[in-house]
Amino acid sequence: MLRRVLLSPAGFVGLFLLLMIIGMALSAGYFFPKGPWALVARPYMWPGQRPGLPFGTDSLGRNILAAIFYGARVSLIVGLVATVCALVVGITVGSLAGYFGRGVDAVLMRITDAFQTIPGFLFAIVLVSILSPSVTNIVIAIAVVSWPPVARLTRAEVLRVRETEYVQSCKIIGMSTPRIILTQVLPNSLSPVIVVAAVLVATAIITEAGLSFLGLGDPNVMSWGTLINVGRPSIRSTWFICVLPGLFVVMTVLALNLLGDAINDALNPHFRKR
């Protein structure tokens, strides 16, 4: 499975880019021990204007490269944790709705509909502004707006698996319902959910960057969106302050999308023959 992902060009490039970003996140403290907030030079220095500052400085004279290294931490952690939370909620709701059907299904799916109807990003803005902007609350807001597709997908898969003979025979031998769901149904219905997870991490990173861009980021951490927000007022002259962190957002999302595609193809036997 891993080999198949690695052998496809999309999977290789995706994994390479992602490992690079992870490397940046891990080594941020080593390369920039003073942290992302330290003032290192004159403000608005262009990239390469002074050796040692290849990405220049922002409006307060902070090292943009350091901010991007530390920003990788925030983006990856927020993306990962929010996705795990969304997966837990979505898989729980989806498997309950799919397995029990009828009333449970109707109630849970209408709630899912309602969450999918509300514009996600707007909802996240409302949640963060009500709960106060902190990394935890941003993670909560992103999880709240991104679980519905997981629930739908899990439900559809569980509906399929529920009718299979091996699940029916588990019922007949008197296995308890939670045990059937956890050991029989879920392991056989989660592979499409894994593909969605890669895309969810990407979406979560975009949402976090969007929130910080609007000024709703955690004021105590430096994220890519924060930097873009800092650079926005001076976009007419020093546009690189916005563009450089933006490129890293694009690169990370691209890497995750490529990886998701590669996993999807590897899991899907239909494409294997090509």
Partner 1 sequence: MTALNRHLLHYLGWRLLQSLVVSTIVVIGSFMLLHLVPGDMVDVLGGQRGDMDAELMATLRARYGLDQPMLVQLFHYVTGVLQGDLGYSFRNSNTVLSLVLQRLPATILLVVCSVAVAVFIGTLAGVFAARHVHRPIDVIISMVVLIFYATPVFMTGLGLVIIFSVKLKLLPVGGLTTPGVDMTTLQLIGDVAQHLILPVLSLSLFYIAIYARLARASMLQVLNQDYIRTAYAKGLGTSHVIIGHALRNALLPVVTMVGLQIAELFGGAVLTETIFSLPGVGRLAYDSVFERDYPLILGVLLVCSFVIILVNLIIDLIYTLLDPRVEVSR
Structure letter (DSSP) for residue 185: I
At closest approach, how far in Å is the CB of 210 from partner 1? 6
Residues 6+ apart with CB under 8 A from 240: 46, 47, 55, 56, 64, 231
Binding part of the chain for partner 1, among 47-55, 62-70, 158-166, 240-248 by CB under 8 A, reads 240-248
Candidate residues 59, 61, 77, 129; the one interacting with partner 1 per rule CB under 8 A? 129
Question: 3-state DSSP call for residue 39?
Answer: strand
- Do residues 98 and 162 lie in contact, with contact meaning Cβ atoms separated by under 8 Å? yes
Spatial CA neighbour of 148 closest among 98, 91, 101: 91
Q: Among residues 253, 259, 263, 266, which is the contact residue for partner 1, using CB under 8 A?
A: 253
- From residue 210 to residue 229, the character string flagging contacts with partner 1 as x (rule: CB under 8 A) and all else as - is x--xxxx-----------x-
92 in Cβ contact with 113 (< 8 Å): no
**Token digits of residue 102:** 């009828």
Residue 175 phi, psi (nearest 5): -65, 145
- Looking at the Cβ atoms of 3 and 236, the one nearer to partner 1 is 236
Residue span 98-117 as binding mask against partner 1, x where in contact by CB under 8 A, dash where not: ------------xx-xx-xx
Q: Does 257 bind partner 1 (CB under 8 A)?
A: yes
Asked whether position 243 contacts partner 1 by CB under 8 A, the answer is yes
At residue 132, what are phi and psi to the nearest 5 degrees? 80, 135
Q: Using CB under 8 A as the criterion, which residues of the chain lie in contact with partner 1 when the complex forms?
A: 110-111, 113-114, 116-127, 129-131, 202, 206, 209-210, 213-216, 228, 232, 235-236, 239, 242-243, 246, 249-251, 253-254, 257-258
